[in-house]
Amino acid sequence: MLQTPLGSLEVRIDGEQIEYAHFPVPNEKCCGGLNGRYAIIVSIRPDWRAHTISCRLRDYTGSPQDGPESGENLELYSFYRDDAKLSIGMEGDTGYLVTGDRVSDYDYDTEYLPDGVQYCLLPFTRTATFLFGIAWIRPVTETNDSQTWFGADPTLREFRALISKD
C-alpha cells in the first residue's frame, strides 16, 4: 500500500479492496519539487458489465481546500492537510448533455469522491488498463502548488511508458 503524507492509498474494484503495485515516476522540470510521484496501474478483463475502480485515501478527513483540478483529458482531485498537498489524477473527459446523451471519446466515465477518485466502467467498456497518477509536495506554497497537477497527470509520456512496459 502506498503511504503518503495524507495517509495510505487504497484501491478497490466494486468496493472490494485489492492488492496493487505502485511505480515511482521521475520528476520533470515542471514538477521538480515533488516529494513523491507514483503510478498505480490496474488491469481488469472487460466482461461487459458495469464496474468501479477507485483510488482513495484511507480514513481521510476532508479540508475546505480540497477540490477538482481537471484539464484536457485529465480528471484530477487535490487534497490538503497541514502543509502538504496530494493530487490523484485519471485520464478521462466525459460530459452529459441535458438530454442525458453522453459525450466522450472514452469508453468509461470518471467520478470524484470525497476521499479519492474512481473510474466508472460501463457495459460497453473495452479498456482493460487504468492508470492513477499520484503526486504530493510538502511544504505546499502558492508558488509550488501547481506541481502536483503536472505530477499526477497520467496522460504524460512518463506514465504512458509504464503502461507500455506492463
According to the model, what pLDDT value does residue 162 have? 76
Q: What is the pLDDT of residue 90?
A: 97
Question: In sequence order, what are the beta bridge partners of 9?
Answer: 57
Is residue 41 within 8 Å of 21, Cβ to Cβ? yes
DSSP assignment string, 35-92: SEEEEEEEE----SS-EEEEEEETT----TT-EE--BTTEEEEEEEETTEEEEEEEE-
**pLDDT number for residue 156:** 87
pLDDT at 159: 81
pLDDT for position 94: 83
Q: Would you give per-residue pLDDT tens digits along the chain (166 residues)?
A: 999 999 999 999 999 999 999 999 999 999 999 999 999 999 999 999 999 999 999 999 999 999 999 988 999 999 999 999 999 999 998 888 899 888 889 999 999 999 999 999 999 999 999 999 999 999 999 999 999 999 999 998 788 777 765 5
C-alpha span between 52 and 72 (Å, rounded): 22
What does the pLDDT read at residue 165? 59
Per-residue confidence (pLDDT) for residue 157, from 0 to 100: 79
